[in-house]
Chain A
Amino acid sequence: MTSAMSAAGTAPKTYAWEIRATGLKVRAGRKKMAVDGLDLSLGTGTHGLLGPNGAGKTTLIRALATVLSPAEGQLELLGASVSGVGDHRALRRRIGYLPQEFGYYKRFTVREFVEYMAWLKEVPKTDIPAAVQRAVERVGLADRADHRMKTLSGGMVRRAGIAQAIVNDPALLLLDEPTAGLDPAQRLRFRELLLELGRDTCVVVSTHLVEDVAAACSDVVLFADGRLVFQGTPDELAAAGGSGHPGDSPLERGYSALLHNSEQPGGTW
């Protein structure tokens, strides 16, 4: 059992926003500036990061996960600046990250994989077995915990990925396309989990499924060409669209209305 109280849990927050970016620029590769002058402030809650393919969502998430260093601008995560080359250990302990295409060791069992990630995240040794069990149960993989990763289906691998992201009880949870490969029932369950996590965590979910945002997010961040297009509640996004805009739901119409202004060259796709 983990205790109900911990020093980190009761310590007062010394920052206003979990994520605060000003003029943030991040490179993808050598030349392309995938995040190009982003100003963004995100607090506790579930934030849906929407945008067309190639908008820079993955690059932004990687920068938030401290995998990429910002090229320019300021980025503050949980009150700590990550702009320079510094020691991010304390910060990284409080981050959970699920990459879009995440590699793993195929011969590990789910439990070994999540345990290994907990070790990498410096979860105290005595807490690891319980934390792993809890994370695996939360994603509904308890009955598969001792199966090797290579025997799992795509959706189960995704859930194992979510389990490793939440194993250290992160204050900042970054999920890149977490619903890819999940069947409809699992997606529903996953949205419940998102709502639950969003109550005391800053969750950033990158997705291109508008319905995920409608169901599970308290806040929408619309992102195109490396810039912020819109930030607001799902209702505000829906209100932005009129009947003249393409889409099957109010949210989709709002999405296409807002993106219409920043239409990308390159045809109808």
Chain B
Amino acid sequence: MSGEHASRRLIDDYAHGDTELAADTVWALEAHLEACAPCRSRLAASVATGEPGVAALLDTVRAGLAPQLDTAVRAPARRYRPRWASAWMTPVMVPWLAMTVTVTLLALLMAAAGTPVRFGTGSPMLLIAPVLPMCGVAAAWSRGLDPAYELTASTPRAGLPLLCRRTLAVLTVVLPAVLVEGWLTGAMTAAQWLLPSLAFTSTALALGSLVGVTRAAAGLVVAWGAVVVAPAWDTSRVPVVLQPGQLPMWGGLLVLGTGAVIARRRAYRAP
């Protein structure tokens, strides 16, 4: 054999059915032919030119089988979802994403109907928006919500890369929905909530390496509710932490969270 392929002479001998070929050579050649399309095509050429007997036999067999082969059309597999979709989200994530989008739509409808849901200059949506994407991520990486947890946990893909895929999928759905909502109602600008929501997501993932993403997200929601939402509910001001001056703080939190996630990348073994 020359290089990584079978030599011309070897292939010719094989096509000829040369009994001089050693059994181990034939074995190695057949194993190679199974995996190597170029060598198979050279074998086909060799048979077509050098071995009219074999070629005729093959034609007869093919002619005999042709009617059956023509009718046996392989039925395409019935699919309910594109193959790439399951790489990014699990079916259990779909209802949660749908719910998040519905919440945003409802807020939009209420704003459009002129219902006085506003209080002062803020809107409830502004208070929810920073934690909304994080809740979606928590739902996507939850042991209790994912029935295939046990199976996923034993596979090589379980871990941070899979978590990142699902996080990205959640953000791709939720962020545009909230963005459009904020833009249509004019209740909030992206600058007010986008960076905080990313910071919350990264913090939840970072804390999740210690206590689990679901628990981390739940804790952050409770803290956010107690520290920011509850005091802001009565007043008519945008909470201090969501004012533009605080953006460096949120940026710092985002960097810190992302750094912690990268540092602890081995800790994410399973949902």
Contact = CB atoms under 8 A, between A and B. Distances in A.
Interface stretch (B57-65, B141-149, B187-195, B218-226): B141-149
A105 B91 CA distance: 7
B35 A99 contact: no
A88 B156 CA distance: 7
Interface in A63-99: 65-67, 85-90, 92-93, 95, 97, 99
- Give the contact-size bracket for chain A: 35 or more
A67 B270 contact: yes
B157 A107 contact: no
Interface stretch (A16-24, A118-126, A210-218, A252-260): A118-126
Contact of A102 (B86, B87, B90, B150): B150
Contact of B150 (A67, A88, A90): A67
Q: Which among B149, B150, B270 has the highest number of chain A CB atoms within 10 Å?
A: B150
A120 B157 contact: yes
B146 A103 contact: yes
Interface stretch (A30-38, A108-116, A177-185, A221-229): A108-116
B9 interface: no
A97 B151 contact: yes
> Which of A3, A5, A107, A120: most chain B CB closer than 10 A?
A120
A93 B153 CA distance: 12
Given A4-B34, A105-B147, A112-B80, A87 B155 contact: no
A89 B160 CA distance: 12
Contacts of A92: 154-156, 158
Interface string B19-36: 000000000001100110
B113 interface: no
Interface string B236-257: 0000000000000000000000
A66 B267 CA distance: 14
Nearest to B30: A4
A122 B157 contact: yes
A246 B143 CA distance: 43
A86 B154 CA distance: 14
Contact of A105 (B34, B148, B155, B270): B148
B86 A112 contact: yes
A109 B80 contact: yes
A62 to B, nearest CB: 8
A150 to B, nearest CB: 11
Contacts of B149: 103
A103 B34 contact: no
Contacts of A145: 77
Contacts of A116: 86
B38 to A, nearest CB: 14
Contacts of B77: 109, 111, 145-146
A119 B78 contact: no
Contact of A3 (B34, B91, B157, B266): B34
A108 B89 CA distance: 13
A16 to B, nearest CB: 24
B80 A105 contact: no
Interface in B146-172: 146-159, 162
A120 B152 contact: yes
A107 B80 contact: yes
Interface of B: 30-31, 34-35, 77-81, 83, 86-87, 90-92, 146-159, 162, 266-267, 270
Interface of A: 1, 3-5, 65-67, 85-90, 92-93, 95, 97, 99, 101-109, 111-112, 115-117, 119-122, 145-146, 148, 164
